[in-house]
Structure 1
Amino acid sequence: MKERKLGLVSAISVCVGLIVATSCLLSLGQGMGLAGKGFIVSMFIVIILNALLAISFSELHNLMPEVEGGLGQYTLVGLGPVPSIVSNLSAYVLTNLLAGSVEMAMCGMVIHNTFLKQVPAVVISLILLALLALVNYMGVDIFSKIQNIVVILLLGSLAVLGILSTFKLGTGQVIEVVNQTQPVVTGWKGITSLSALAFWLFIGIEFVIPISKNLKNPKRDVPLAMILGILILFVVQTLIGIGMTNYVTLEELSTSSMPHMVFAENLLGKAGGYWMGFVTILAGVSTINTVLGSVTRILSGMADAQMMPEIFSRKNSKDTPVAGLILMVSIVAGILITGFASSSSLTNLLLAASCFWLTSYIMVNISVLVLRKKYPDAPGRNKKLTLFGIPQIICIAGDIFMIWNIAEGENRIFVYKIFFAFLIIMTAYAYTWVKIIKRTSFQEYITLESINEN
Structure 2
Amino acid sequence: MNEMPAVDARETPQLPRVLGLHTLVALIVGIAVSQVGLVGVLQGVGLIGGESLLIIVGAFVTAVILAITYAASFSELSLMMPSSGGLSRYTEIAMGHFPALLATFSGYVVVNMFGLSAELLLFDNIVREVFDLDIPRSVVALMLLGALAVLNIRGTDVFAVLQNSSTAIKVAIMIASGVAVIWVQPGFWATAHQKGVEAGAFPGDIFPTGVALFFWCFVAAEFVCPMMKETKAPERNIPRSMVVGIIMLAGLYGCYAFGAVHFLSRATLVDSPFPHLEYAKAVFGRAGSMVLMVFATAATIGLINGVLAGVSRMLYGMAHDGQAFRILGKLHPTYGTPWVAIIFMALICGAPLVLLGDEPTTIMTLVVSASTSWLLAYIVAHLDVIILRIRYPMAARPFRTPFFPVLPMLGIGGMGYVIIHNPASVLIMTGLVLGVVGLMSAIWVRLVMKRRLLAPEPWSGHVGEQE
Same fold by TM (over 0.5)?
yes
User: Partner residue of 1:274?
Assistant: 290
The correspondence of residues 24-423 of structure 1 with structure 2, limited to 5 A, is 24-36=37-49, 37=53, 38-64=55-81, 66-135=82-151, 142-164=158-180, 166-169=181-184, 175-180=191-196, 182=198, 185-212=201-228, 218-314=234-330, 324-325=341-342, 327-339=344-356, 342-380=359-397, 385-387=402-404, 389-406=405-422, 408=423, 412-413=424-425, 415-423=426-434
| Aligned CA distance change for structure 1 residues 220 and 326 (closer, same or farther; 3 Å) | closer
> Structure 1 residue 29: deviation in Å?
1.2
TM-score, normalised to structure 2's length?
0.85
Q: Gaps spanning 5+ residues in structure 2: where?
A: 1-15
| Aligned CA distance change for structure 1 residues 399 and 236 (closer, same or farther; 3 Å) | same
Give the distance between the partners of 1:316 and 1:192, measured in 2 at CA. 44
Structure 1 residues 52-110: Cα deviation after superposition (integer angstroms, max 9, x where no partner): 2222223223432x334322211121111111111221222111111110111011011
Query: Are the equivalent residues in 2 in contact too, given 1:172–1:247 (CA < 8 A)?
Result: no
> Structure 1 residue 331: deviation in Å?
3.2
Give the distance between the partners of 2:287 and 2:414, measured in 1 at CA. 41
Give the distance between the partners of 1:193 and 1:299, measured in 2 at CA. 31
| Aligned CA distance change for structure 1 residues 186 and 444 (closer, same or farther; 3 Å) | closer
| Aligned CA distance change for structure 1 residues 443 and 188 (closer, same or farther; 3 Å) | closer
| Aligned CA distance change for structure 1 residues 5 and 281 (closer, same or farther; 3 Å) | closer
User: Partner residue of 1:445?
Assistant: 456
> Structure 1 residue 375: deviation in Å?
1.5
> Structure 1 residue 250: deviation in Å?
1.1
| Aligned CA distance change for structure 1 residues 298 and 58 (closer, same or farther; 3 Å) | closer
| Aligned CA distance change for structure 1 residues 443 and 129 (closer, same or farther; 3 Å) | closer
| Aligned CA distance change for structure 1 residues 28 and 172 (closer, same or farther; 3 Å) | farther
Aligned amino acid, residue 431 of structure 1: A
Q: Which moved more, 1:37-46 or 1:186-195?
A: 186-195
Give the distance between the partners of 2:256 and 2:393, measured in 1 at CA. 45
TM-score, normalised to structure 1's length?
0.87
Give the distance between the partners of 1:297 and 1:219, measured in 2 at CA. 18
| Aligned CA distance change for structure 1 residues 334 and 16 (closer, same or farther; 3 Å) | closer
Aligned amino acid, residue 254 of structure 1: V
Structure 1 residues 387-415: Cα deviation after superposition (integer angstroms, max 9, x where no partner): 3x221111111111111223x4xxx41x3
Q: CA RMSD in A?
A: 3.1
Give the distance between the partners of 1:90 and 1:197, measured in 2 at CA. 19
Give the distance between the partners of 1:369 and 1:40, measured in 2 at CA. 30
Q: Does 1:15 align with 2:28?
A: yes
Structure 1 residues 230-278: Cα deviation after superposition (integer angstroms, max 9, x where no partner): 1111111111111112221111111122111110011111212211111
| Aligned CA distance change for structure 1 residues 87 and 182 (closer, same or farther; 3 Å) | same
Aligned amino acid, residue 267 of structure 2: E
> Structure 1 residue 297: deviation in Å?
4.0
Structure 1 residues 192-218: Cα deviation after superposition (integer angstroms, max 9, x where no partner): 431111111100121232454666664
Give the distance between the partners of 2:320 and 2:257, measured in 1 at CA. 44
> Structure 1 residue 161: deviation in Å?
1.6
Give the distance between the partners of 2:298 and 2:154, measured in 1 at CA. 21
Query: Are the equivalent residues in 2 in contact too, given 1:247–1:263 (CA < 8 A)?
Result: yes
Aligned amino acid, residue 395 of structure 2: A
> Structure 1 residue 51: deviation in Å?
1.6
Aligned amino acid, residue 367 of structure 1: D
Give the distance between the partners of 2:119 and 2:157, measured in 1 at CA. 18
Query: Are the equivalent residues in 2 in contact too, given 1:172–1:267 (CA < 8 A)?
Result: no
> Structure 1 residue 124: deviation in Å?
2.6
Query: Are the equivalent residues in 2 in contact too, given 1:35–1:184 (CA < 8 A)?
Result: no
Q: Does 1:435 align with 2:428?
A: no
Give the distance between the partners of 2:406 and 2:99, measured in 1 at CA. 23
Give the distance between the partners of 2:205 and 2:23, measured in 1 at CA. 38
Q: Which moved more, 1:136-145 or 1:301-310?
A: 136-145
Query: Are the equivalent residues in 1 in contact too, given 2:163–2:306 (CA < 8 A)?
Result: no
Query: Are the equivalent residues in 2 in contact too, given 1:82–1:430 (CA < 8 A)?
Result: yes
Aligned amino acid, residue 15 of structure 1: I
Identity over the aligned pairs, expressed in percent? 26
| Aligned CA distance change for structure 1 residues 383 and 113 (closer, same or farther; 3 Å) | closer
Give the distance between the partners of 1:40 and 1:372, measured in 2 at CA. 34
| Aligned CA distance change for structure 1 residues 215 and 417 (closer, same or farther; 3 Å) | same
| Aligned CA distance change for structure 1 residues 396 and 185 (closer, same or farther; 3 Å) | same
Q: Classify the secondary structure of the residue corresponding to 1:117.
A: coil
